[in-house]
Amino acid sequence: MKTACWLGPRKIEIIERPKPKLKSGEVLIQVESVGVCGSDIHYYLEGRIGEQVITPPLILGHEFAGIVCEIQETKHEYLSGKRVSVEPGIGCGTCEYCKTGHYNVCSNMRFFGGPGCDGALSEYIAVPAEYCFPVPQSISAPIASLVEPTAVALHAVELASVHPGETALVVGLGSIGLLTAQILLISGVSQVVGIDIIPHRTAVAKQLGVHETFIAPLKNNIEESVSWIREITNNRYFDITFDCTNRSEGIAIACHGTRPTGRSILVGISGKDYDPIPVGIARRRELKLQWCRRFRYNFPTTIKLIEQGKIHFDRILTHHFRPEQTQIAFERVANTEDNLIKASIDWL
């Protein structure tokens, strides 16, 4: 089978590999579409996200959808021939976190496209059947591949315990930020505001219903952003803030933008093990800082929201590539070229 294989920093090539053989409990998926995630870019550029280090050769890709083309056990016949979105983190099932429902923080997790576990940038992939979620045929394969990042956004909003009438700030309007903003808009908040350094992204946010946006300058973006926040909130700040960037400045803006006793949800992945946090303002305002780790039982609800038309992707999924263009796609995502927000690699 054809695979797009990572061979080292900034090097992906199409390589032939044997089709996977199914193990107990697995099904074989013919991959249709794979979304390119920010964490994929960290691995592509540096071969690591903090302590998580990958070694070549490795197949990246964890946001994906495809058709179940082979099953091993009759109890999985309900999946045969179905388009599915796949939850990419396979918990060990035996640790205290898996047993208490917090499998997303399992330290023994296998994660597709992560250390020691090939991902979905290939024609076929074998996955545990229980991690496959059928999607209606009305949802296209590229959109079905984005169930995963949408589930991240849904989990982040759930962690915030949103109350009707509250105000929210989203820092970073890439795909996760724009998805978070949309979920906030249907969650009863009275105002959703967004900040980004890229003008095109703030324009898209407004098109998706975000009430106010600010284009932060490349220099002094913390000071300028906080000044703008003070102005539009009359020094009240926001009830809830979300950092959806991969930069320490995003964390700082989110914390400074949160009202006393408010909540700040840290969703972005910086790629570092240590990032500065404005502990002074967080302490003085008695903020609740909550990190977000992927998702937890969010796929079914996410699929329903997409099926109901409550989440819009037409302005987010901006670029499509073929498998042989995978290296080009990763470079364009890394450089945010051509007003790119989200890219997919379409295998069928």
CA 42 to chain centre: 13
Residue 202, judged by CB atoms within 10 A of its CB (0-12, 13-18, 19+), counts as buried
pLDDT at residue 174 tops 90? yes
Q: Report yes or no: 5 and 320 within 8 Å, Cβ to Cβ.
A: no
Residue 261 domain-assigned? Answer: yes
Average of pLDDT values for 147-158? Answer: 98
Do 237 and 340 have their domain in common?
no
Residue type, 203: A
The H-or-E segment that residue 8 falls in is strand 2-8
**Residue 54 binned pLDDT confidence (cut-offs 50, 70, 90):** very high
Average of pLDDT values for 243-251? Answer: 93
The number of folded domains in the chain is 2
Residue 299 domain-assigned? Answer: no
Q: Report yes or no: 311 and 21 within 8 Å, Cβ to Cβ.
A: no
Radius of gyration of the chain (CA): 20
pLDDT at residue 274 tops 90? no
Do 124 and 15 have their domain in common?
yes
Distance CA 299, CA 142 (A): 16
Do 84 and 34 have their domain in common?
yes
Q: Report yes or no: 4 and 59 within 8 Å, Cβ to Cβ.
A: yes
Q: Report yes or no: 188 and 167 within 8 Å, Cβ to Cβ.
A: no
**Residue 277 binned pLDDT confidence (cut-offs 50, 70, 90):** confident
Do 104 and 198 have their domain in common?
no
Do 165 and 140 have their domain in common?
no
Residue 271 domain-assigned? Answer: yes
Do 142 and 24 have their domain in common?
yes
Do 129 and 58 have their domain in common?
yes
Residue 311 domain-assigned? Answer: no
pLDDT at residue 284 tops 90? yes
Do 134 and 268 have their domain in common?
no
CATH number assigned to the domain comprising residue 75: 3.90.180.10
Q: How much of the chain exceeds pLDDT 70, in percent?
A: 100
CATH number assigned to the domain comprising residue 280: 3.40.50.720
**Residue 313 binned pLDDT confidence (cut-offs 50, 70, 90):** very high
- Across 31-35, 49-53, 171-175, least confident range: 49-53
Q: Where does 87-237 show beta strands of DSSP type E?
A: 89-90, 110-111, 124-128, 132-134, 167-171, 191-196, 212-215
Residue 220, pLDDT score: 82
Average of pLDDT values for 218-247? Answer: 95
Domain extent at residue 80: 2-146+316-346
pTM over 0.85: yes
Residue 112 domain-assigned? Answer: yes
Do 120 and 203 have their domain in common?
no
Do 128 and 7 have their domain in common?
yes
pLDDT at residue 105 tops 80? yes
pLDDT at residue 336 tops 80? yes
Place of tokens 């000044």: 227
CA distances in angstroms from 62 to 40, 99, 142, listed in the order given: 8, 24, 13
pLDDT at residue 295 tops 80? yes
Do 97 and 169 have their domain in common?
no
CA 93 to chain centre: 23
